[in-house]
Amino acid sequence: MEKQTIVVKIGSSSLTNDQGEIDEQKLSGYVEAIAALKKAKHTVILVSSGAVAAGFKQLGYPSRPVTIKGRQAAAAVGQSLLIQSYIKKFGQYQLVPAQILLTRSDFSQRERYQNAFSTINELLDRNIIPIINENDTVSIKELTFGDNDMLSALVSGFIHADQLIILTDINGLYTDNPMKNPHAEKYSFLEEITDEVLASASSEGSKVGTGGMKSKLEAAKRALSLGVSTFIGKAEGKYSLLQVLQGTGDGTYISNKSMQPINTKKQWIALHSESTGKIHIDSGAEKAILYDGRSLLPAGITDVQGTFVKGDVVEVYGQNKLLGKGKVNYSSTEVMIEIKKRQEQGKLAPSIEVIHRNNWVTFK
């Protein structure tokens, strides 16, 4: 089998027992399956939940805390317990894991985004297994990914993975909840995540987790948009993850070969950057940037809103809707000056590229 880069996401319910503590047998099983991937020369990144679930019992909580301070305190205790368990288990296979804790701001700030990318790639080059989790000890609602399902999708696009494997306690996606409806039918393969499919999925998570099947489908939809195929299902046994790669896994495969990977810079512009202004353009410029692969020039700009500087990201609007986002080469003041020049001098005015096509992302 050709070497692949794989992101494996394991949720809290898949790692813990009924009391909410780390289940050593479950953990050993997943580590053994990941070790089999590594032995087959695949590159593996693990996105692991379980910190809050592992820690809340140590603090005396009867169940997963709902307050921010309780959740963060449980994560502070549980994260160390979780990584200690991983270090011990992976050590049995002469594999070394490395802990990476991320927040939304690590993605939204360009320099930190680049640093995270460089760190993960250096670890992979050194044959280390990055274990990524959201930094629940400091995250607040506005800065979270929602759950580790979405984090795993963003990481898979970030490092241009070949496959995202989202493990859960249900063997794939069904037309209805199979635990409540015995007539529910399983989807073995999907080319896209439609609104109808999303509507059929439950948003209810387990008592130790935050996400349900809906969050996994939203993550798969995001991964698909970044050119990454996704598997959602169960994996039990030493060779279970290898079976997923071979197409015989116990779950649902979501893949569309027409969806191409997006380079890391454009991912940041499209998904993580904060827009500092708006540019409105005419129909001619709309055609040029959407269909002709051209850069945005001042001649097609009809209005500028907000204050921005060179290197900022702005939203670009056409006649009827938001078209996309791009990183500007000039400030809002400079763009307005160029527009005025065009109005006064017409075609005689030298043109500039306000947004180069390599720094532009179209929204579909």
Which CATH number belongs to the domain containing residue 221 in this structure? 3.40.1160.10
Residue 269 within any structural domain of the chain: no
In a shared domain, residues 66 and 208: yes
CA–CA gap between residue 137 and residue 144 (Å, rounded)? 11
| Residue 240 and residue 291 in one domain | no
Do 84 and 166 sit in the same domain of this protein? yes
Q: Would you say residue 330 lies in a domain?
A: yes
Single out the residue in 233, 262, 291 at which a domain terminates. 262
- Residues 205, 230 within the same domain: yes
Q: Let me know whether 222 and 302 are in one domain.
A: no
- pLDDT band for position 181 (50/70/90)? confident
Residue identified by tokens 């993850």 is 241
Q: How many domains does the chain have?
A: 2
Q: Is 88 helix (H, G, I), strand (E, B) or coil?
A: helix
Please give the span between the terminal C-alpha atoms of the chain, in angstroms, as a whole number: 34
User: Which of 227, 262, 297 corresponds to the end of one domain?
Assistant: 262
Q: Are residues 206 and 107 in the same domain?
A: yes
- The pTM for the full model equals 0.87
Across 321-343, average pLDDT: 93
**Whether residues 162 and 191 fall in one domain:** yes
- What is the gyration radius of the CA atoms in the chain, in angstroms? 23
Assess whether 187 and 332 both reside in one domain: no
Average pLDDT over residues 212-241: 93
Q: Tell me whether residue 267 is in a domain.
A: no
131-145, 181-195, 301-315 — which is least confidently predicted?
131-145
Residue with tokens 């690590």: 106
- Residue 50: C-alpha distances to residues 71, 155, 276, 338 (Å): 12, 18, 36, 54
Each residue's pLDDT tens digit, 64-92 = 888 888 888 988 998 998 999 999 999 99
Do residues 244 and 231 make contact, with C-beta atoms less than 8 angstroms apart?
yes
| pLDDT value at residue 207 | 43
Residue type present at position 108: S
The token pair at 283 is 């129909």
Q: Using 50, 70 and 90 to split pLDDT, how confident is the model at 209?
A: very low
Identify the domain containing residue 68 by its residue range.
5-262
Say whether both 304 and 164 belong to one domain. Answer: no
